[in-house]
Amino acid sequence: MPISLSMPFLKLAHLSDLHLDMSRESDAAASSLVKALVAQDVDHVVVTGDLTHRGANAEFQRFREHFAPWMETGRLTFIPGNHDRPGEDVGSRFMEGRKVHTVEKTGLYMVCVDSTGEHNRNYFSSHGELTADVVVQVEQALSAAPPDVVVAVLLHHHVLPLPLESFPEWIATKVGLPHASELALGKTLLERVGGKCDLVLHGHRHIPHELDLGQPGERALRVYNSGSSTDLGRFRVFSHLAGRLVGEPAWCQAAEPAKPRTAVHNVRPALQYLVGQLGMALF
């Protein structure tokens, strides 16, 4: 279809790593993002994991309440991240037990991938899992994509190495823990999806990143890490029309700047996890 500037663009927003909890700060950050999504008149929202901070049902309920305008109209797609797996393991229900499934919306074909594993039930084991079988499933899903839509692969964990973001990550990496490692088959996945999809959207790393992989086939491939939308107080919006991306994605700032997460946000659930594990070991 020839593209005319008078035609209305569709807008896809990419958010990730909200880490919602029951605090006032968390609610304020989510509200700001939602106001900005409304102001941008976004058509579809994707959230690539770590919706919740400790996998609690109540935290997921907060997410549902904040994002109700998109959830109730079928304009919200989300996948699990490692932080959705501890505690009450809400993330295990996000994709109904499937490792790969597809979502089709106007102008969009999204292949959702669950890159979490059972090891993520442990709060301290955050790296992802991508098996050869799942890579094959992604390829098969992409082969069924219609030609006239934007095709995106959504997953939580990063597919290529990205810089360390904190001192604890540096320590973990020095002692050989895979805490900050990319998916073992991430590079393989990119080689297999090249030319068959336009976007790989992920999170997990809280500092945003983007990578242009050129045009390995019929479609140019770009990899975008959203970063933590609540920490950053912003998200990317991709405009698309007639099944093609239009221009560069735009960063949209939330109405109010996000409050930086305090150390308590991470330390408290970590201590609760340790106490819970100790309790199980003793009794």
Task: Give the binding site for Fe ion (CB under 5 A).
Answer: 17, 50, 81-82, 204
Q: Please report the beta strands in the chain, taking only residues with DSSP state E, as ranges in sequence order.
A: 10-15, 44-48, 76-79, 100-105, 108-113, 150-154, 199-202, 209-212, 222-225, 234-241, 244-245, 250-253
CB of 125 to Fe ion, least distance (A): 11
CB of 63 to Fe ion, least distance (A): 14
CB of 276 to Fe ion, least distance (A): 20
Closest CB to Fe ion among 83 and 222? 83
213 with 221: CB under 8 angstroms?
yes
Q: How far is CA 8 from the centre of its chain?
A: 27
In angstroms, how far is the first alpha carbon of the chain from the final one?
A: 66
Within a 13 Å sphere around the CA of 78, how many CA atoms are in the beta-carbon half?
25
Query: Which of 149, 153, 154 has the alpha carbon at shortest distance from 240?
Result: 149
Closest CB to Fe ion among 158 and 219? 158
197 with 151: CB under 8 angstroms?
yes
CB of 53 to Fe ion, least distance (A): 9
CB of 126 to Fe ion, least distance (A): 6
Helix (H) or strand (E) holding 162: none
CB of 251 to Fe ion, least distance (A): 19
Closest CB to Fe ion among 82 and 229? 82
Closest CB to Fe ion among 11 and 204? 204
Q: Please report the beta strands in 71-204, taking only residues with DSSP state E, as ranges in sequence order.
A: 76-79, 100-105, 108-113, 150-154, 199-202
Closest CB to Fe ion among 50 and 198? 50
167 with 113: CB under 8 angstroms?
no
Rounded Cα gap, residues 255 and 20, in angstroms: 18
CB of 134 to Fe ion, least distance (A): 17
